Structure 1
């Protein structure tokens, strides 16, 4: 929370901070304090924005170089120990805590305004009212706390039965397994039919090759007989 730029709002603090902790540019409590060469102290963001317009100290008008600006870590820690009020004071939070714990408190403050975490719900409510809101939020969705895997809504969680849900899942898986087994059996039958067909084709090819071998042997035998007969006929002619 800041006024013009980088500092903390004075109203955030429980006690009024010392004047030495006030940034002369934004008039807020120093956030990430830095010191210029002229020893004047400012919020880091404030002085960097100032130097974009003019390179002189806003207090004494002496030249200021960005390379000669130093972070004051000890002063920053001291400011972090100052007590502040919760930013949700207007909502009813009365807590006070060190400035350095502001973020941690905001993450758990029951008066923090937050959005409903359930997808589709646009409600804005205080963190302390979230539990009551969840009991009626129509966008409420959560997995079954028994671990069956079912995602429940406001309508279904009162009727939910883990046994029935697990049985439904089991039956669905069984049906899926039966469908897979039937598909595998069909593929196996198709492969068996293909193999039987291939075997028949191979048998026919082998039979064809055997017939061709027999024909070749018959032809060769006939040729030998013809040659033998021709030879015999030639011998008879010579004798005459």
Structure 2
């Protein structure tokens, strides 16, 4: 019990400190400040766009890993989960070396299409999607592996096309996994810092998301930093509430 209590206190104490020192009297005014609203708006837009991009590409990738036996599947799965353990700053540097103006693909984009991604809002979306997609893929793949593939086989035997089987059978079966993965993906994208600041910088109104605004505000306006931190904490609590009963066993 004693080590468990120490561990719990270690996790709860920082949150208690934030709640105790938060500027509750001026919280509404702080959140209404233009720079705070700007960072909040940018964070919501980019995290939602990143989640949409992850859904578009991550769900088919999860289906491929769960339903198709191919050579090198373990390697692909390992590569998909690398961003989970990769330091975010390293991920941002990797994105810069790949998609920067002198990068592997970025040089071609710049010379051919005149498209420069680093330090733009699009770079924020890419950085967030890079670190958040594994959460979606792992969740959806787990949901697919827990469902009975015989339902899909039965639909195919009855004459349903592959698209019909996916739309009418597979998609409803993995819908809970997609929903849970999308929520986790969105929350991870909202809180991303390291990859974003490395690949997109911290330009107010353009690439400065809420975590970056918190870091900058700590230097000059700690109360604004605490106000933004409370918003992020509220989002975390909302995410846990949405996933309650799926990821946490409760009595």
The bucket for the TM-score relative to the shorter chain is: under 0.3
Which structure shows the bigger proportion of residues in helix conformation? 2
TM-score normalized by the length of structure 2: 0.18
Q: Which has the larger radius of gyration?
A: 1
* Structure with more contact order per residue of length (Cα contacts < 8 Å, sep ≥ 6): 2
**TM-score, structure 1 normalization:** 0.19
